[in-house]
């Protein structure tokens, strides 16, 4: 009898697994954009060639992030408005770059304090509109990346990195996008242009800081500070992937947070395996052949990032795979035989998304409990309206997007 019921239950579980996988790898045909990817490749090749020529590839990542973040934060409109807003964004990013690389080698307590302050400010930026909230989220992610890269540079004696040079690389990347928009503006007859990434919300209307919004910002800041403390306080190898994963996984909707967490984990696994296979190529090479293979793999990494840009809103899991493979290849080229790095990054990504989903689950349960009518409420007094972070805080999509829709970081 028990075995019969077990056999009856197997197809149900199988259908649930298949249904969940279909959600994770669900494709949005409208989200595929190859012209956008080619534009990114054109822009990314400029710093790549420049740093090849001067021989300072350790600053390439800052330049690429500067160009990419400026592109994503571009509000569109008249050129004067675009240039001024991107310039302000670039200056804030330059300050965060200086802070991240400046304190990357200091005591971990300063890193925790800085991560808390930056994440809290980024969460409260929603009061200036959803577009600026997304821009703040981009800067927040870059700041954690800068902390991690600076921390790793501090523990590698053969790689020299100067904070001012990293700031200059970031600013140069953002300035490159401003120059690209200026050329486009001239070619288009000096006409106003729409926002280049239409899927990113463009709403800049002011919003009231309600209690749920503030609580959500504080919870995010505490979680990121806690994961930064674990990563740097315990001196975990590549531990900064944990706060990045936790930050991206924390969404106002628990269902959306869970789906994004699974997609990010699956994508990171695929990207880590792809990067490990690519890094097998230069493992036993030396001299001129190693140099040529390294240059070739840097081009491959840029092409992978280009594919990530093309499929950003096509499927989040595949996008994560392409970005992870490209970034891991660029980061690990100086030490291509360190294959344990991919395993560590996957582990900390798993821990980060688990922490993010767990915190959102606990926050949802707490919100439901506090929203219940307290015992002994006087008759005639209206029940307290249910308020949660999901109701009052706009998701990065700007319109309460359901899981799987565009608008994720």
DSSP string over 370-383: HHSPPTTPPTTPPP
Q: Where are the domains of the chain?
A: 31-207, 210-371+385-395
Cα gap 186→141, rounded to integer Å: 33
Give the pLDDT score at 390: 36
Lowest mean pLDDT among 23-27, 85-89, 192-196, 360-364: 360-364
Q: What are the residues whose beta carbons fall under 8 Å from the beta carbon of 314, sequence distance 6 or more?
A: 27, 28, 29, 31, 32
Cβ-based neighbours of 76, under 8 Å, separated by 6 or more: 82, 192, 193, 194, 195, 196, 202
Percent of the residues in the chain that have a pLDDT greater than 70, as a whole number? 83
DSSP string, 246-314: HHHH--SSHHHHHHHHHHHHHHHHHHHHHHHHHHTTTTT--HHHHHHHHHHHHHHHHHHHHHHHHTTTT
For residue range 37-53, what is the model confidence (pLDDT) as tens digits?
898 888 888 998 898 88
With a CB cutoff of 8 Å and minimum separation 6, the contacts of 27 are 314, 315
Q: Are 146 and 244 in contact (CB under 8 A)?
A: no
CA dist., res. 397 & res. 313, Å (int): 11
Q: State the Cα–Cα distance between residues 34 and 200, nearest whole angstrom.
A: 17
Tell me the mean pLDDT in the region 132-157: 89
Flag whether pLDDT at 10 surpasses 60: no
pLDDT digits (tens, 9 = 90+) for 69-93: 998 899 888 888 899 999 999 999 9
Ranked by mean pLDDT, the top range of 93-97, 129-133, 197-201 is: 93-97
Quick one: average pLDDT of 213-237?
A: 91
Exposed, middle or buried by CB within 10 Å (0-12, 13-18, 19+), for 194? exposed
pLDDT top residue among 341 and 127: 127
Interval 170-199 mean pLDDT: 89
- Per the prediction, the chain carries an average pLDDT of 81
What contacts 210, CB < 8 A, 6 or more positions away? 387, 392
Residue 408 has pLDDT above 80, yes or no: no
Alpha-helical runs (H) found in 155-253? 163-187, 211-233, 241-249
What is the DSSP annotation of 48-59? HHHHHHHT-GGG
Please give the pLDDT value at position 6. Answer: 43
Of the pLDDT bands very low, low, confident and very high (cuts 50, 70, 90), residue 11 is low
pLDDT higher than threshold 50 for residue 181: yes
Report how far residue 125's alpha carbon sits from residue 223's, in angstroms, rounded to the nearest whole number. 18
For the ranges 226-235, 239-248, 300-309, 365-374, the lowest mean pLDDT is seen at: 365-374
Q: How far apart are CA 266 and CA 274, in angstroms?
A: 13
- Residue range 333-346: mean pLDDT, rounded: 71
80-106: string of b/e by CB count within 10 Å (b at 16+)?
A: eebbebbeebbeebbebbbbbbbbbee
The predicted structure's pLDDT at residue 12: 60
2 has pLDDT over 50:
no
Q: Which residue has the higher pLDDT, 177 or 259?
A: 177
CA separation for the pair 90, 171 (Å, rounded): 6
Decide: 328 and 272 in contact? Cβ < 8 Å.
yes
pLDDT at 395 over 50: no
Q: What's the pLDDT band for 404 if we cut at 50, 70, 90?
A: very low
* Length in residues, the chain: 409
pLDDT tens track for 366-394: 767 766 645 544 444 344 433 333 333 43
- In this prediction the pTM is 0.80
pLDDT at 13: 61
**pLDDT over 90 at 226, yes or no:** yes
Q: What 8-state DSSP symbol labels residue 126? A: G
- Burial zone of 210 (CB within 10 Å; 0-12 exposed, 13-18 middle, 19+ buried): middle
- Rg over alpha carbons for the chain, rounded to the nearest Å, is 22
* pLDDT grade for 338, boundaries at 50, 70 and 90: low
**Other C-beta atoms within 10 Å of 22: how many?**
10
**pLDDT value at 401 more than 80:** no
pLDDT at 15: 66
């Amino acid at each position: 009898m028990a075995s019969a019921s077990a056999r009856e239950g197997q197809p149900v579980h199988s259908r649930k697994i298949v249904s969940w996988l279909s959600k994770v790898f669900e494709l949005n045909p409208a989200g595929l954009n190859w012209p956008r990817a080619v534009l990114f490749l054109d822009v990314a090749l400029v710093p790549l060639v420049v740093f090849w020529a001067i021989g300072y590839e350790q600053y390439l990542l800052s330049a690429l992030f500067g160009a990419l973040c400026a592109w994503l934060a571009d509000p569109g409109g008249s050129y004067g408005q675009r240039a001024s807003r991107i310039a302000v964004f670039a200056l804030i990013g330059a300050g965060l770059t200086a802070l991240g690389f400046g304190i990357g080698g200091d005591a971990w307590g300063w890193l925790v304090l800085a991560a808390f302050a930056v994440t809290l400010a980024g969460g409260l930026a929603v009061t200036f509109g959803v577009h600026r909230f997304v821009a703040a989220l981009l800067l927040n992610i870059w700041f954690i990346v800068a902390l991690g890269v600076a921390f790793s540079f501090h523990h590698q004696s053969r790689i020299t990195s100067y904070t001012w040079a990293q700031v200059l690389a970031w600013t140069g990347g953002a300035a490159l996008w401003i120059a690209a928009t200026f050329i486009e503006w001239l070619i288009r007859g000096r006409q106003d242009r729409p926002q280049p990434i239409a899927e990113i919300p463009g709403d800049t209307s002011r919003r009231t800081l309600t209690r749920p919004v503030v609580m959500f910002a504080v919870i995010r800041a505490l979680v990121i500070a806690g994961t930064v403390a674990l990563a740097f306080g315990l001196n975990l190898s590549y531990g900064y992937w944990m706060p990045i994963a936790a930050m991206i996984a924390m969404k106002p909707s628990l269902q959306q947070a869970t789906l994004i967490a699974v997609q990010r984990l699956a994508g990171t696994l695929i990207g880590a395996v792809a990067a490990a296979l690519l890094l097998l190529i230069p493992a036993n090479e030396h001299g001129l052949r190693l140099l040529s293979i390294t240059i070739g793999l840097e081009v491959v990494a840029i092409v992978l990032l280009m594919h990530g840009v093309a499929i950003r809103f096509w499927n989040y899991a595949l996008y994560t795979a392409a970005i992870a493979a490209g970034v891991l290849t660029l980061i690990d080229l100086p030490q291509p035989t360190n294959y344990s790095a991919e395993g560590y990054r996957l582990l900390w990504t798993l821990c980060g998304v688990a922490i993010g989903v767990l915190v959102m689950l606990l926050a949802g349960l707490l919100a439901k409990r506090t929203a219940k009518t307290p015992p002994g409420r006087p008759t005639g007094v209206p029940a307290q309206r249910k308020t949660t972070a999901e109701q009052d805080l706009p998701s990065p999509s700007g319109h309460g997007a359901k899981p799987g829709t565009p608008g994720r970081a």
